[in-house]
């Protein structure tokens, strides 16, 4: 195989893994191909803050030797992966996207990185993000992340680089972190698959988790099968994270049957057809429901009237949690060192009165209860992952100076993802088509707590019945100049 071939780097991780297992593809060849793409296009796309080229190549050579010797570890052995740069990596700097942490080198790996290494996967680099994993960054310390489908457009936040990298063929898969949509939104904007797992399904130990009651770690990949393989490797109880569950981890790949006949799918009215939704998104959503009907699923529209409150409730609670963690050592002492967007949002979170915070926490229970009640009558709930195609970078910065801007830039941008974060249920974003301008559109599938296999089952069946996952951005059209 040509080590510079886009066919190789855009191949699914599952297929790459099968070729490596069968000794038809060298892990070294794959790693060299990915590193060549990073070297050429990362100066524009800014997916990576740190690239571990030397160690990744050395580990690829070791993986090749092990596989030749009959010590194949499984489907991820020899595959490159990247991680959002808020996950600690031993001996490799972890910046959290902040200039203040440019020299921060941890002495340990996060639990999820330990697990991927144990599965034979190879860390290729640390991926760009909004400062401290918060949305709203205006001036990126390590370069403006750009959408590989159109570099003038937003790759979404806050796991921006973790969405760009698999979409651009820089890696076989990434890990991101999702509080209110920070995995699903970049997956949607970059035309790939991203999962927010059930809260407690994946250990957060070794990650810098400021949103303690909402943060989750999950995979971003090119296909649903790839996502299932990565989740299989990182899921499970970890005594170092007291909030991880002991609920058994199933074999997710077994759920990928392509058969969803008889499943009950709820189409959420308030999240699919609200005022302000882009007409191309609503048209794609109607087409997606027709595909699922054709696959034998029972489709019915359901209502979540409290879903609209998820956005302010999440901002009142998670933003307050994060601000409380950062108040003493960051906001008070490094105010001028932070990006303006970061410090403005954190300062607002720090000013939320305790009485308001506690009322909002109680109200979150009502939203969660409504979502869980709907899932008693449906196997999954579906809606768009985003109600508009990815916007231009300048237009999507969260400068809110009017009620109209609040509706468009804050509420509509979050309403699709926040209710499922608040319910702490698994939610999967996957390709649903493209706008007339060639920008990705995305379907979201949410399920019962710890029912990731059902979410994967529906997502995979839809994916295999549609052509969207087989389309990839043509990076050759990008002018290679530093961005």
- Say what the pLDDT of residue 135 is: 85
| pLDDT tens-digit series, residues 300-339 | 999 999 999 999 999 999 999 999 988 877 888 999 999 9
Q: How confident is the model at residue 410 (pLDDT cuts 50, 70, 90)?
A: confident
CA dihedral 188, 194, 200, 202 (to 10 degrees): -150
The DSSP line for 357-370 is HHHHHHHHHHHHHH
Give the residue among 463, 103, 73, 81 at the shortest CA–CA distance from 288: 463
Tell me if the bond preceding 462 is cis, omega within 30° of 0: no
185 is catalytic: no
Q: Are 275 and 309 in contact, with CB atoms under 8 Å apart? A: no
| pLDDT tens-digit series, residues 45-76 | 999 999 999 999 999 999 999 999 999 999 99
Q: Which of 26, 84, 162, 185 is catalytic?
A: 84
Tell me if the bond preceding 380 is cis, omega within 30° of 0: no
At which residue do the structure tokens 């780097």 appear? Answer: 9
Q: Which two tokens stand for residue 326?
A: 């950062």
Q: Are 97 and 141 in contact, with CB atoms under 8 Å apart? A: yes
Q: Under DSSP, is residue 154 helix (H, G, I), strand (E, B) or coil?
A: coil
Q: How confident is the model at residue 479 (pLDDT cuts 50, 70, 90)?
A: confident
Backbone φ and ψ for 311, nearest 5 degrees, come out as -65, -55
- Say what the pLDDT of residue 168 is: 98
Instruction: Name which of 67-71, 343-347, 457-461, 476-480 the model is least confident about.
Output: 476-480
98 is catalytic: no
Q: Are 304 and 268 in contact, with CB atoms under 8 Å apart? A: yes
- Say what the pLDDT of residue 409 is: 66
pLDDT higher than threshold 60 for residue 2: no
Q: What is the spatial distance between Cα 183 and Cα 363, in angstroms, rounded to a whole number?
A: 24
Q: Tell how strand 264-268 and strand 193-196 pair up.
A: unpaired
Q: Are 276 and 408 in contact, with CB atoms under 8 Å apart? A: yes
pLDDT higher than threshold 80 for residue 39: yes
- Say what the pLDDT of residue 483 is: 47
Q: How confident is the model at residue 4 (pLDDT cuts 50, 70, 90)?
A: very low
Architecture of domain 6-477: Alpha-Beta Complex (3.90)
182 is catalytic: yes
- Say what the pLDDT of residue 3 is: 44
User: Domains of the chain: which residue ranges?
Assistant: 6-477
Give pTM, 2 decimals. Answer: 0.96
Q: Which residues contact 157 (CB under 8 A, 6 or more apart)?
A: 129, 130, 135, 136, 137, 182, 185, 186
Q: Which of 182, 185, 386, 442 is catalytic?
A: 182
Q: Which of 158, 320, 388, 421 is catalytic?
A: 158
| pLDDT tens-digit series, residues 161-217 | 999 999 999 999 999 999 999 999 999 999 999 999 999 999 999 999 988 889 999
SS3 sequence of 59-97: HHHHHHHHHHCCCCCCCCCCCEEEEECCECECCECCCCC
């Amino acid at each position: 195989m040509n080590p510079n071939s886009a066919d190789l780097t855009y191949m699914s991780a599952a297929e790459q893994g099968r070729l490596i297992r069968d000794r038809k593809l060298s892990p070294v060849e794959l790693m060299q191909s990915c590193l060549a793409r990073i070297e050429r296009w990362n100066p524009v796309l800014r997916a990576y803050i740190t690239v571990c080229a030397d160690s990744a190549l050395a580990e690829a050579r070791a993986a090749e030797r092990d596989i030749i010797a009959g010590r194949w570890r499984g489907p991820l052995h020899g595959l490159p992966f990247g991680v959002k740069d808020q996950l600690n990596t031993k001996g490799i700097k972890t910046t959290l996207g902040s200039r203040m942490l440019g020299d921060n080198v941890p002495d340990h790996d996060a639990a999820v990185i330990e697990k991927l290494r144990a599965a034979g996967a190879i860390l290729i680099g640390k991926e760009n993000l909004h400062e401290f994993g918060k949305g709203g960054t205006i001036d990126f310390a390590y370069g403006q992340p750009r959408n590989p489908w159109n570099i003038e457009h937003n790759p979404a936040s806050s796991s921006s680089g973790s969405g760009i990298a698999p979409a651009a063929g820089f890696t076989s898969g990434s890990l991101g972190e999702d509080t209110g949509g920070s995995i699903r939104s970049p997956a949607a904007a970059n035309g790939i698959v991203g999962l927010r797992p059930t809260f407690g399904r994946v250990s957060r130990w070794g990650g810098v988790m400021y949103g303690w009651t909402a943060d989750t770690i999950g995979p971003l990949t090119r296909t649903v099968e790839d996502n299932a393989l990565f989740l299989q490797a990182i899921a499970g109880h970890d005594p170092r994270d007291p909030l991880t569950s002991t609920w058994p981890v199933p074999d997710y790949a077994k759920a990928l049957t392509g058969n969803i006949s008889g499943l009950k799918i709820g189409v959420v009215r308030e999240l699919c057809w609200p005022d302000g939704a882009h007409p191309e998104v609503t048209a794609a959503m109607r087409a997606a429901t027709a595909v699922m009907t054709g696959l034998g699923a029972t489709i019915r529209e359901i209502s979540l009237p409290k879903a609209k409150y998820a956005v302010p409730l999440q901002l009142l609670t998670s933003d307050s949690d994060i601000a409380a963690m950062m108040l003493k050592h960051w906001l008070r002492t490094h105010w001028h060192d932070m990006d303006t967007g970061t410090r403005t949002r954190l300062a607002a979170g720090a000013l939320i009165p305790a009485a308001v915070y506690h009322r909002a926490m109680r109200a979150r229970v009502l939203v969660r209860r409504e979502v869980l009640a709907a899932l008693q009558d449906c196997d999954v709930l579906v809606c768009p992952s985003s109600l508009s195609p990815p916007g231009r970078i300048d237009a999507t910065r969260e400068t809110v100076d009017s009620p109209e801007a609040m509706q468009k830039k804050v509420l509509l941008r979050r309403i699709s993802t926040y209710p499922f974060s608040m319910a702490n249920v698994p939610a999967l974003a996957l390709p649903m088509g493209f706008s007339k301008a060639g920008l990705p559109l995305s379907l979201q599938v949410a399920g019962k707590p710890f029912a990731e296999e059902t979410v994967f089952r529906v997502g995979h069946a839809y994916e295999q019945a549609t052509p969207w996952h087989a389309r990839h951005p043509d990076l050759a059209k990008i002018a290679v100049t530093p961005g």
